[in-house]
Structure 1
């Protein structure tokens, strides 16, 4: 009965419409109608947008609660600094961090040379929207099998001076402050934001301390040029409680893993992203947007088994020509561009002498290794969008990728030196979309596209630190049907997608030691799924608006051909992916300035081993938020929010490790406990016109 519950709830929702307004999840085509005079970077390629209103539905530190609104996307959070995103099951086999998708901030690539992205490097309050492209449909944004996340900073777009400050306090010693300043005139738009976040965390050794600074500048340099400057910097230190065994999770989910508690394991990060862009108008129907960017990450992480000291220095260029073919809004469109990125990744490991440090935690000892890797990523892409009739449009995309890794062993000499390189063959990535749009807000589309994933660092090296010359890129084809239906004078909006993705040369990182992995290509997977979302947008009365929404995800993903040694896992459900997920809720607003929102999430059990011998438990979460905004002074507005997360105080795993190993006779550690019931209170003050 539990497994049927999500679908039953979805059908009940669709059969019982409630009036409301304002979009929580907006398909790209809705945004296109607003931006019809612009040369949109996606055209008819479907995507979904989390608006600033949707982002505000959750605690400003809760990325998981925000991202999981989107069907097909699952955000697993072990801690504020331990996150992983999977899209349509892609990335589920990644043990730590997010890879197999591309991420962009104001159109600047922020994914490193092996495809790893760090969403927690950005403050949720600094984002105006998060656009999600699921699957490899957009060759102009990487054609990764998982898709792409496009982050946009707040666009003030107003003249004059504004200032605002939001302070949040809550459970586990939470304190968060976001201070913003904005100045705008006919030529200049300048925004400066500073944020600070500290918390003790729900678990032992779970503290988080972060400072962040964001500069966003836009300047009109004459009729043709619009210059942009973006600088984002964060500096944080966070404890690592790590995962727990089932026994420890059931006994006391607040404890840290024993060795991580003894060593007081933590990570310290300093990350800077800087970009300079120039949007050049070359006439009414042609423009060029060119960005140059540099990023730097300094990372230090004492673990029980060693201490990792690393840095990554990356730089690159992205240049795109966009234009129209023919007159009018229904004209054809084209895009040609290139994205080039190179980074230097240097890392060393040292002994951790925490056992000899008299209970004071980690202590750095002798050097164990010193390595450096240069990673070059280049992608050339084009898109052509052609109107076939007034209602039918066809879009073709084509991308070409070239990736190369060069590894240098700076510790060993002579015959023990492990230096080497891996130069991947060029890969061609075509895509095609056919769309029917009768002009009433409803539309349908069909898409076929090819995508790929580069191997991560762990997958590209063997346990001895040598580049594996046999490793290949994952490759796959995605087939998708979808659309949008608007009913009852466009108040009810229903969206859906049905897809089938075949992936070959599946990348697997087998953990053979506490800090040792073997990367290999191991068979193929088949990803089939259904994604449905709906919302109602119409005023209930002149004084009351209710906006209910719901999304449902069906993940029917399986290993198609997967043999691991003597074990044949072919036909088993894909590890680390729940079959059913539901996310629903509503937001109620009054003309007096009060609001109430409630969200509910259901997640099915997930297989934790490739053999499907162990599963996580299903769970449900309810979050509640209420607030009131009002004028404090003629130019000062105030907003007071109060929220309760995990209202039912459920014990659940907010993230999991798949195929967890057992070392020195200990029980495998699969589970990251989610927070118990917790609270937050926030006050925002705005000054200006």
Structure 2
């Protein structure tokens, strides 16, 4: 492992606290615990969404993105490795073999889901985020109408006029080292936030090393009283070695093992990712505002796999404009969003078996392809009060998707290009809200869709399959949000049911080849609960127990795959029960204790439900301390244990795995064993 010590760590011993502790420490406790509620939401009108922010993030290791997201009922992030993540919302996307699809991902209001619907959460540093907002299901018209919903990532923003330098330094098991150095300045005309982060670890498993560097720049200029201009740049450069999934024998006997073929090839992926965007906001009047953004994304990806070497790059371009205004006593949102990308990819022989044990070796080219993908969204919503307590929201989203595929390698073949123009699809939603003394009730009916990826829309011969259709579904939702005892006790609950037609199934026809087909209908229904209680045990001690529960009754209503009829079986890849719970304890002297627990029920791994993963419990513990050690200098210390009881569990699974050449199917991505971390924060206010 390369020894890495940033300049600021040499000047200032390691870490930072981004927030001073006022003399009134009891007030400080109240502010800390309420930071989550103070995070502004982006979901428009009465659209229900769930937001997590600083309070949740502070419970975990600053590298543990998955545990934070999994605090949200109905949302499940399966993390096979730092670079291998799949996020499902209410079971949507659970059958995707690799990666996250069927939802829209936004970063500071910019859509970053690619042209075929895949999102890469690992392109963003957890420590740079100020909030994560999740719209579950297709009810957020302004953020697409994808069946899974939308995830809105927002970076940290200065809360008051300040100039601050902050450094956070963390070390841990597996030779883990992470450093995040950030500078923020905010005055009435100009805001800037610049951060640099470095992260490296050898990983829990064989062939599991990871190294990443990143830069994030956010600026806002107040051009005039009614006009402002913002610019964002996010750059990530990482190399991640791939242990891949393992079979049940290896999982039970030694979960640190890598898949033998990936280990022999020393497989890895190297990524350079850039997002840059420019946004202009103009306040026409008190009743009308417009925000317009243009953006560009670039991804350069190189991945030696045992079966071949993938070399690809993607250029993405986009435009988004949104008007927000008042119409009488109601409010409306109108806007449009266009995303286009050009995807160039080729594969090469991997001659690792002939490389004397030195890993992957690039051989002859096997393929060369170009794809052009385009998605257009037109959206609008109107929220109108029908009485002092009762309001309604009607929204529409219009989507048009286009794919073009060109085979640049087999140029003599008649089928060297293919085009697929999906018909425009109109997706309405209706929401109702009734305000009560201690909370509110809401209901929603909405239509959603998911596109097949371009590869899923091709036949094995590489030509467009005209019979492949978009998934569509109708979502029904009833919920409530309540607060009692002067907001010390809060309860959020949701009941939902969604029926999805033209279920897209990725069928594996080779070690690195999947094709798609529409195989039937699924029904997603369930219950989500989120309960928190805040109370002072004394004037100096604040305690917050909390619980989140997800019940998922997801089944194949009609699913016939070849000669097999799986109708009535539970949906593959979804645990029936999930529970997150914990307790936060804060003392006025700056001490903070976080104990968190997650339970995941067994997961069906095959459509025939013949194999399940085992249910598991995982506990994490973190202890922190913060203090103002000088007028302008703040200190934070923290240490923790992940997986306190050293549970052997599958943090991610691969459904319907196939064993090639007589080998056992590889279903399991083991979670890390018991591991430790500690860090220090230093903050300086100029």
- What interval of TM-score do these two structures reach, taking the shorter chain for normalisation? over 0.9
Q: What SS does structure 1 have at the residue aligned with 2:353? A: helix
- 1:259 equivalent in alignment to 2:261: yes
TM superposition shift of 1:41: 4.7
- 1:685 equivalent in alignment to 2:673: no
Match of residue 646, structure 2, among 646, 649, 665: 649
TM superposition shift of 1:250: 1.1
Match of residue 313, structure 1, among 309, 312, 315: 315
Contact between 1:382 and 1:398, CA under 8 Å: does it hold in 2? Answer: yes
Contact between 1:279 and 1:289, CA under 8 Å: does it hold in 2? Answer: yes
CA RMSD of aligned residues (A): 1.5
Off by >3 Å, runs of 4+ in structure 1: 20-27
TM superposition shift of 1:364: 0.4
Q: What SS does structure 2 have at the residue aligned with 1:250? A: helix
Match of residue 463, structure 1, among 460, 464, 470: 460
Match of residue 162, structure 1, among 161, 164, 187: 164
Contact between 2:51 and 2:133, CA under 8 Å: does it hold in 1? Answer: yes
- In 1: Cα distance, 2:122 partner to 2:30 partner: 30
- 1:219 equivalent in alignment to 2:217: no
1:575-590 to 2 correspondences below 5 Å: 575-590=572-587
1:530-541 to 2 correspondences below 5 Å: 530-541=527-538
Q: What SS does structure 2 have at the residue aligned with 1:46? A: coil
- In 1: Cα distance, 2:123 partner to 2:369 partner: 25
- In 2: Cα distance, 1:101 partner to 1:655 partner: 19
TM superposition shift of 1:463: 2.9
1:361-380 to 2 correspondences below 5 Å: 361-380=359-378
Instruction: Report the CA distance shift for 1:26/1:604 in structure 2 as closer, same or farther (over 3 A).
Output: farther
- In 2: Cα distance, 1:419 partner to 1:653 partner: 41
Contact between 2:415 and 2:462, CA under 8 Å: does it hold in 1? Answer: no
Contact between 1:21 and 1:539, CA under 8 Å: does it hold in 2? Answer: no
User: What corresponds to 1:342 in structure 2?
Assistant: 340
- Note the alpha carbon deviations across 1:6-38, whole angstroms, 9 max, x for none: xxxxxxxxxxxxxx96797999xx669x78xxx
Contact between 1:23 and 1:535, CA under 8 Å: does it hold in 2? Answer: no
Q: What SS does structure 1 have at the residue aligned with 2:220? A: strand
- In 2: Cα distance, 1:217 partner to 1:190 partner: 4
User: What corresponds to 2:96 in structure 1?
Assistant: 94
1:240-389 to 2 correspondences below 5 Å: 240-326=242-328, 331-389=329-387
Instruction: Report the CA distance shift for 1:106/1:630 in structure 2 as closer, same or farther (over 3 A).
Output: same
Q: What SS does structure 2 have at the residue aligned with 1:66? A: helix
- In 2: Cα distance, 1:514 partner to 1:610 partner: 19
Contact between 1:393 and 1:435, CA under 8 Å: does it hold in 2? Answer: yes
- In 1: Cα distance, 2:584 partner to 2:202 partner: 30
Contact between 2:544 and 2:583, CA under 8 Å: does it hold in 1? Answer: yes
- 1:173 equivalent in alignment to 2:175: yes
- In 1: Cα distance, 2:56 partner to 2:158 partner: 18
TM superposition shift of 1:61: 0.8
- Note the alpha carbon deviations across 1:274-330, whole angstroms, 9 max, x for none: 00000100001100000000000000000000000011110110000001123xxxx
- In 2: Cα distance, 1:160 partner to 1:516 partner: 53
TM-score of the superposed pair, with normalisation by structure 2: 0.94
- In 1: Cα distance, 2:438 partner to 2:38 partner: 11
Match of residue 591, structure 1, among 588, 592, 595: 588
Match of residue 139, structure 1, among 138, 141, 161: 141
Q: What SS does structure 1 have at the residue aligned with 2:660? A: coil
Contact between 2:619 and 2:644, CA under 8 Å: does it hold in 1? Answer: yes
- Note the alpha carbon deviations across 1:138-172, whole angstroms, 9 max, x for none: 01101110010000000014324210000000000
- In 2: Cα distance, 1:107 partner to 1:178 partner: 23
Q: What SS does structure 2 have at the residue aligned with 1:602? A: strand
1:15-26 to 2 correspondences below 5 Å: none
TM-score of the superposed pair, with normalisation by structure 1: 0.94
- In 2: Cα distance, 1:346 partner to 1:190 partner: 35
Unaligned runs of 5+ in 1: 1-19
1:423-502 to 2 correspondences below 5 Å: 423-438=421-436, 440-502=437-499
1:512-551 to 2 correspondences below 5 Å: 512-551=509-548
- In 2: Cα distance, 1:490 partner to 1:157 partner: 23
Contact between 2:89 and 2:149, CA under 8 Å: does it hold in 1? Answer: yes
Contact between 2:35 and 2:55, CA under 8 Å: does it hold in 1? Answer: no
Unaligned runs of 5+ in 2: 1-28
Contact between 2:201 and 2:209, CA under 8 Å: does it hold in 1? Answer: yes
Q: What SS does structure 2 have at the residue aligned with 1:554? A: strand
Contact between 2:35 and 2:54, CA under 8 Å: does it hold in 1? Answer: no
Structure 1, 539-548 or 274-283: larger mean CA deviation: 539-548
- In 2: Cα distance, 1:315 partner to 1:583 partner: 39
User: What corresponds to 1:11 in structure 2?
Assistant: none
Q: What SS does structure 2 have at the residue aligned with 1:460? A: coil
Q: What SS does structure 2 have at the residue aligned with 1:612? A: coil
TM superposition shift of 1:347: 0.5
User: What corresponds to 1:4 in structure 2?
Assistant: none
Q: What SS does structure 2 have at the residue aligned with 1:458? A: coil
TM superposition shift of 1:182: 1.1
